[in-house]
């Protein structure tokens, strides 16, 4: 049996290199990394199985320093901001827009961030080069998730029931955020055009008002 797992494609079959069209033509079972809590209804063939969210799991305890910061949020809780592992070259102008909005929140903010810390970074915001994303999203004090719309983060937020503010950048991210917006689980912003007021308003909405 040949199994085709999308979007991760394996180009070996029977121990020899194959063309993409040959691999697709011989597939007995298609495993699609998506699911109905993300997708819109659509017809599928009997040999297609949706396996999105397989990586989701219960949250584990946070590192002590991070847990202490989260607990210091009190009743207001925490916002997680992460653009994933591939986005590192954020312009200073966009960084300042983001930092200004986050500084005005009553919540504490965990920001996965690489680069020089913005001068207007608020005392409520801690930056980290790495964040245990699933564990933060599964923490009982987490109120919202600011995301670029990558599949891993989207499914982890769905799994833990965390509303999102999304500004997609490339790839499947626009579709993912569009799905979540249509289903009332996210607010979509334009990465290039959003102001600090836009981001602040969106976060207040997803935290306090049912979508």
Counted residue by residue, the chain has a size of: 211
pLDDT tens-digit profile of 168-186?
A: 988 889 999 999 999 999 9
Flag whether pLDDT at 7 surpasses 60: no
pTM of the model: 0.84
pLDDT of residue 8: 47
Between the two ends of the chain, the Cα-to-Cα distance in Å is 44
- Per-residue pLDDT band for 14 (boundaries 50, 70, 90) equals low
Rounded to an integer, the average pLDDT of 124-145 is 96
Q: Which domains does the chain have, with CATH numbers?
A: 3-50 (no CATH), 64-208 (3.40.50.2000)
Specify the higher pLDDT residue, 205 or 117: 205
Flag whether pLDDT at 16 surpasses 70: no
Which region among 2-6, 71-75, 139-143 has the lowest average model confidence (pLDDT)? 2-6
Which region among 43-47, 58-62, 181-185 has the lowest average model confidence (pLDDT)? 43-47
Paired sense of beta strands 12-13 and 16-17, if any? antiparallel
Flag whether pLDDT at 157 surpasses 90: yes
């Amino acid at each position: 049996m040949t199994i085709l797992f999308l979007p991760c494609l394996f180009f070996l079959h029977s121990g020899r290199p194959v063309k993409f069209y040959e691999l697709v033509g011989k597939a007995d079972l298609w495993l699609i990394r998506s699911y109905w809590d993300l997708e819109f209804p659509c017809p599928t063939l009997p040999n297609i199985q949706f396996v999105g969210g397989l990586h989701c799991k219960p949250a584990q305890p946070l590192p002590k320093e991070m847990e202490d910061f989260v607990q210091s949020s009190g009743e207001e809780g925490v916002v997680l901001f992460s653009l994933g592992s591939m986005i590192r070259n954020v312009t200073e102008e966009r960084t300042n827009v983001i930092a200004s909005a986050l500084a005005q929140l009553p919540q504490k903010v965990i920001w996965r961030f690489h680069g020089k810390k913005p001068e207007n970074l608020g005392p409520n915001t801690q930056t980290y080069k790495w964040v245990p994303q699933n564990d933060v999203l599964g923490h009982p004090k987490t109120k919202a998730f600011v995301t670029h719309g990558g599949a891993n983060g989207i499914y982890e937020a769905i799994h833990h029931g965390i509303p999102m503010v999304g500004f997609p950048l490339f790839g499947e991210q626009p579709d993912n955020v569009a799905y979540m917006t249509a289903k009332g689980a996210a607010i979509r912003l334009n990465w290039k055009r959003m102001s600090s007021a836009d981001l602040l308003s969106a976060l207040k909405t997803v935290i306090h008002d049912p979508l």
